[in-house]
Structure 1
Amino acid sequence: MERKRLFLVGIPETHIEKAIMRAKQLGFDVLLGDSEASLKKYEHLIKEADQKIVLDYTNDENLFSVVKEIHDKEPLDALFTFKETGLFNVSKLQQAFHLKGNPPSVVQTCLDKYKTRRLLKKAGLNSPNFGLCRCVEDVYDFWNKSEHPIILKPRSQQGSIGVIKVEKREDIEACFKECSKHDDEKSILAEEFIEGQEISIEAVVCQGKVEIFGVTEKQLYPGTFVESGHISPYQYQEKHQDFYKDLVKGVVHAVGIVFGPLHIEGYHTNKGFVVGEVHTRYGGDNIVTITEIAMKCDMHTPIFAELAGVPYKPERKPVPNEVCAVRFLETNQGIVHAIKGLSELKRMGNVVDFHVNCSVGDSIGPIKNSYDRAGWMIVKGKNEREVNDALRDAIDKIKIIIR
């Protein structure tokens, strides 16, 4: 039987190895495309890919040229990306080559926070009050109509880049200038500040149905919007399970999503649940790993099975056997003098994996976005208390010494 051909665009280093394995088990030959630097950096994770292809998925002309040449020689059966910065370009190719995926208009809507907000509001879904600001006067107008503080954010960025909390009126002009540096739309989004427990819902639209894999609780570094960790499952996940299912169905209908993974952020507040951002991709920050461990699920195969035309029904295990968390490292600012304790981490039974992003001699600055974090560790346990105890022990062992 002739094997089908799946082109994966972009390397999600935390789960690409599993993704390739699962696609091949469904009968795919796997082609993998990314930059030359990424293919080399992660070559130990992508050995099982049948073909590695150098491309720039953020450049629509380059991506189209590469994919068309491959498709013309031997047609592709499926095209899929894990990368937010590749979603729109890949969706255009899926449409051009009549391959399964979300329409480009839907993908573009989810990438643009302002467009997403408008559709959620139109559908009657509870989300933050918002306003489009093309100039600083628009921000002042929003401030005058809103409770304080407010949030300014770029329309189409990720990783908390450019997100600023404005607490005083006299700071508006400086905050607007800083936020605008990170936006190519010549306009930014102003939103009311939401206080509550932030969570994310990891789900999928497959075979025309919504399935929820898990709900993850988020933690932030103090005074920032940057995640310091995630824990799965959220302690009240089972209590709200039916609500989450209906919510995801409402979001899917409002935005027009027809296929693929979903990462929906939101807040439990004293005034009800507030929908945050909507992404047509898997969650980053090792969320796939901790969700699969905690919920005993497989987040890739439902997607790949539908792309392959293979019947598949996700297993539902509503009661997790474990709790799993990722915690990001926090260090002082300065030059890295030494990194100690890694061998001790390897011997800890509760530690699943860890990674340090810095090396001796690197300069560590303040944490302004997700890319400023010094590393991470994943820990699992029988319950949340065991996980938190293990995290404290692990954090005590690893020492990033700054001079």
Structure 2
Amino acid sequence: MRVLGMISGTSHDGIDVAVVDFDHDLAGDALGARIVHRSSVPYASGLRHRIIEALPPAPVGFDVVCELDTEIGQAFAAAAKQAIEDTGGVDVVCTHGQTVFHWVEGGRALGTLQLGQPAWIAEATGATVVSDVRAADIAAGGQGAPLVPLLDVRLLASATQDGAVAAALNLGGIANVTVCRPEADPVAWDIGPANALVDAVVTDAPGGATFDRDGELAARGTAVPMLLEALLDSPYFTQPAPKSTGKELFNLGFVRSALARAGVEPSLPDLVATLTELSAVSVSDAVRDAGVEVLVASGGGVRNPVLMRRLGELLPGVRIVTSDALGVPSDHKEAVAFALIGWATVHGLPGNVASCTGAAGPRVLGRISHASPPPPPIASWPETLVFER
């Protein structure tokens, strides 16, 4: 079965796409996977601006929500259609859409909203579409995030079989981690900001940039200790897992509040250096506290040499590699994960990992728009997932 996974993350910069061929070997109880296509499609600048302008704490009406739901859906549909033309067709599309609000109170996720009307994708592709993948986990008492542990626990299986404590770290807008220990249930949570705050201050500054390309600004600056202390003072960092967060908390207002409390006015390079250090310190603290020995990193943050260097310095003795070493491109791991979720959903298999999200149990995720009869259900997950390299 060929599945197209699509996601736009908390950086709101565009759509990551991965087409994966899955081959279920019933005799060997293994699921083979071959990534046949991957791409990133930037949002049109006007749409990206509208998304950013509509994010909390901005007040928006249902008219704006309706318009964005349509326009994002059309953007996803166009990206899906192009991927299908490039690869010769798919059976299923799993779309994450664009998160615009993740409702958390008192450490509990109460709801989540992803925009990107799937009807546009179904109409453009003629494929079965899986969408709204987080809601079922939240309804079962979970955080609705992270959902990538479905892939992570399978990628890390060989390391834990060797007796190591292994973790998969995603450095997107928000940093999340999945920790796997031998003979124990995996755990996962959102650590805090990876690129979100840097993106916010760079986008807000004159010049037209939207992120710190190759860590150039951070490399030119110096972290400001008083500001770093104010940023780390957020209660979120000390909340126990499972927990989830987003730009509802870690946004430009969060930075401005910390600047006011610290009483400093740093240059843009110093501010970016401080926010990069915040990501490095919060991530390394979480990884160290979990006793991780092998760390597999992915996401846009792996392209930031300043962030990756600091993680290496703060985590001596931890072997750090990227997911590319395991056969999954670091820039598109989340898109691959949602392809896997889509495969699971249409086969009637759970797509959440309850010990990671805090849900009452495993749940089949998402809503299905059928363009063709569904495949027969599978009784249980295959024992192994093997990516062709």
* TM-score tier after normalising by the smaller chain length: under 0.3
Q: Compare the two structures and name the one with the higher strand fraction.
A: 1
TM-score, length basis structure 2: 0.27
TM-score, length basis structure 1: 0.26
Q: Compare the two structures and name the one with the higher helix fraction.
A: 2
